[in-house]
Amino acid sequence: MRRAVRLEWWNIAWTISIVGVMGLVLGQSQTMKTAWIEDMLGLVPPAMFLIAARFETRHGRSARFPFGFERVNGLGFFVAAVALTAVGAFLLYDAAMTLVTAEHATVGSVRLFGHDIWLGWLMMGAQIYAIIPPLIIGRKELPLAEALQDKLLHTDALMNKANWMTGVAGLAGIVGLGLGWWWADSVAAAAISFSVLNDGINALRSSTAELVDGAPRRLSSADLSEDAEAVKASLETAFPGAEVRLRETGRLIRAEVHGTLPPAEALPPSTYWPNEEDRAWRLAQVSFVPPAEKDDGAR
């Protein structure tokens, strides 16, 4: 967690510098505008992660919050997913309208050090700069997200992947403008925004499931988590005929075993973890709900 927090502070610092550089050379390019907005959106997941991490580590249980702040990470994941989906939809609409109206973007020249320079060269330099930090940081975030089972951190890794892919598509769009292909700029912007929208919808499905006590989902999709399926199978084997219900609170899994009495000897939750022991911390609780007593003649 400490490594993830340090990495996210670096992520915010680099992203702010990228937003500043891109803002200086926007011009009329649809691709540059899309990439610039996406870079600003890239500040949301790391900021939400740092806020959630502070609540998780600095604030314990209280009378008003008896379960602590285990779910604050899930709330941050939901906020990031909503932002990702909304901006992706807006950017896709904006690029589509530019294509429909056949709006021709122009890239002019600027005067630097007494020479006229085509703005496209500066745009491409900014795009190359915008590719490098997200490529490095995103690759470092993925193993940490896997170790922590942190969907918010994983979403940020996906955002960084989208950012460097945006830079590559942006380079293609600017080159297309330089060659006189007016549509290349908007097509590149549409491709970028469609990718952002797709990631946003997947993240929104997964984050919503957690908030309504759905079964735990995978990091990268709305499908059921492999860990959750293995825990359910383990509990069903240990307590035949019982109904096992799982839900996720942040990165933790909580299980309820319905229709059976608890074992005579109280066991820690990690006892029922079927996979690698270093991930047994995910199973935070196993509760038992005994079968209801039959009311003779009452029903």
pLDDT in tens, 213-257: 888 888 877 778 888 899 999 999 989 989 999 998 888 899 999
* C-alpha span between 186 and 92 (Å, rounded): 10
pLDDT in tens, 3-42: 999 999 999 999 999 999 888 887 666 667 777 877 888 8
Fold adopted by 1-212:
Alpha-lytic protease prodomain-like (1.20.1510)
Query: What does the alpha-carbon distance between residue 144 and residue 155 come to, in Å, rounded to a whole number?
Result: 12
- pLDDT of 168-202, one tens digit each? 777 777 777 777 776 776 777 777 778 778 878 88
- Determine how many CB atoms are found less than 10 A away from the CB of residue 166: 29
Query: What is the gyration radius of the CA atoms in the chain, in angstroms?
Result: 24
Backbone φ, ψ for residue 183 (5° rounding): -80, -20
Q: Are 107 and 27 in contact (CB under 8 A)?
A: yes
The larger pLDDT score, comparing residue 39 to residue 95, is at 39
pLDDT value of residue 190: 79
CA distance 51 to 44: 11
Q: What does the pLDDT read at residue 111?
A: 66
pLDDT at position 104 is: 59
Say what the pTM is. 0.78
Q: So where are the chain's domains?
A: 1-212, 226-289
Tens-digit pLDDT profile for residues 79-93? 888 877 887 787 788
Structure tokens at 226: 């492999």
Q: What does the block give as tokens for 180?
A: 């006189």
pLDDT more than 70, % of the chain: 90
Three-state SS across the chain? CHHHHHHHHHHHHHHHHHHHHHHHCCCCCHHHHHHHHHHHHCCHHHHHHHHHHHHHHHCCCCCCCCCCCCCHHHHHHHHHHHHHHHHHHHHHHHHHHHHHCCCCCCCCEEEECCEEEEHHHHHHHHHHHHHHHHHHHHHHHHHHHHHHCCHHHHHHHHHHHHHHHHHHHHHHHHHHHHCCCHHHHHHHHHHHHHHHHHHHHHHHHHHHHHHCCCCCECCCCCCECHHHHHHHHHHHHHCCCCEEEEEEECCEEEEEEECCCCCCCCCCHHHHCCCCHHHHHHEEEEEEECCCCCCCCCC
